[in-house]
């Protein structure tokens, strides 16, 4: 008899503590929580405070308080680093990211980049208007990798990862089959910025892999980052999780909710509604229930199915 060990199911919520959560953040949290709870798995709370200018401890504390108030309990992570894979705040995981970067440097896949954002923007084709920056390869060595292990230089520089002209294919639970060419989508991308800050792409892959995350559920705005992340999974030899990108909630004017939108942030919502009312509204938005009758997250576990959730990129509420 062969005993097959399958990895325990693990999901995560990875908020950036740069403001009070809004209904859209909560929609992501609830869907991720329901998906993992309906499979009997564990849920991790990771604080993505890589950006020292925008992240505040107080916002992280508020996120925890809001999740607890709503009944979205986590098994691992949080500010008190519950569990074996801590620390669970990215600002305290620098040594872990350095180690991963070192592996990519030792493989000869990185090089120092001295370009400023303005230099890169100056080379962009005029039709690229969605905010994406495609690195034109200005600092890339002329020969194919392996490159010299990043040379010592007294000048401040970012570290970029070489990407080949290669398609990455994956299937998103909601959005279906995806195929992205890394060279035309982003080009060589940054792993560590010139000011020493770690790039989201590197940190998120290293953290999800080392924390044993088996499913990533997040907003549709990150669908296009997934190919870069899958490339890193491959280079670092980590098994990749599944990916589900949720529709973004938009206001009546069709604008995506943001942390600056006061009306639907948790401070406002908590002053006007019970947790059950808020969860009931989100359940109706997700089409898990026919009306927005108040309920608790746990009541929705038996009703949860990805097939009920629209694959549209946005939902107007």
Provide the binding-site residues for ligand GLU, judged by CB under 6 A. Answer: 14-16, 48, 204, 218, 222
| Rounded least distance, CB 16 to ligand GLU, Å | 4
| Rounded least distance, CB 82 to ligand GLU, Å | 19
| Rounded least distance, CB 267 to ligand GLU, Å | 18
Residue with smaller CB distance to ligand GLU, 15 or 247: 15
| Rounded least distance, CB 211 to ligand GLU, Å | 12
Nearest to residue 163, comparing CAs of 227, 251, 95, 221?
227
């Amino acid at each position: 008899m062969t005993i097959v060990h399958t990895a325990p199911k693990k999901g995560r919520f990875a908020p950036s503590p740069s403001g009070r959560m809004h209904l859209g953040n909560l929609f992501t949290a609830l869907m991720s929580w329901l998906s993992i709870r309906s499979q009997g798995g564990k849920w991790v709370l990771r604080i993505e405070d890589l950006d020292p200018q925008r992240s505040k401890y107080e916002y992280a504390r508020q996120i925890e308080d809001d999740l607890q108030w709503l009944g979205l309990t986590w098994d691992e992570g949080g500010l008190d680093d519950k569990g074996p894979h801590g620390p669970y705040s990215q600002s305290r995981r620098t040594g872990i990211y350095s180690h991963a970067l070192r592996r990519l440097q030792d493989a000869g896949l990185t090089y120092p980049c001295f370009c400023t954002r303005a230099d890169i923007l100056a080379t962009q084709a005029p039709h690229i208007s969605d905010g994406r920056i495609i690195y034109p390869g200005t600092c890339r060595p002329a020969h194919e990798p392996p490159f010299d292990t990043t040379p010592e230089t007294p000048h401040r520089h970012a570290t970029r990862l070489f990407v080949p002209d290669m398609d990455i294919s994956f299937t998103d639970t909601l959005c279906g089959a995806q195929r992205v060419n890394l060279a035309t989508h982003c080009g060589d991308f940054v792993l560590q910025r010139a000011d020493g800050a770690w790039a989201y792409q590197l940190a998120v892959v290293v953290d999800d892999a080392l924390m044993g995350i088996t499913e990533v559920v997040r907003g549709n705005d990150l669908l296009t980052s997934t190919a870069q992340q899958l490339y890193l999974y491959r280079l670092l030899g980590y098994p990749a999780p599944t990916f589900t990108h949720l529709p973004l909630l938009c206001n009546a004017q069709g604008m995506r909710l943001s942390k600056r939108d006061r009306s639907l942030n948790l401070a406002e919502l908590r002053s006007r509604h019970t947790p059950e009312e808020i969860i009931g509204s989100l359940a109706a938005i997700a089409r898990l229930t026919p009306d927005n009758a108040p309920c608790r997250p746990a009541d929705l576990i038996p009703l949860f199915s990805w097939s009920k959730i629209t694959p549209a990129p946005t939902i107007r509420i």
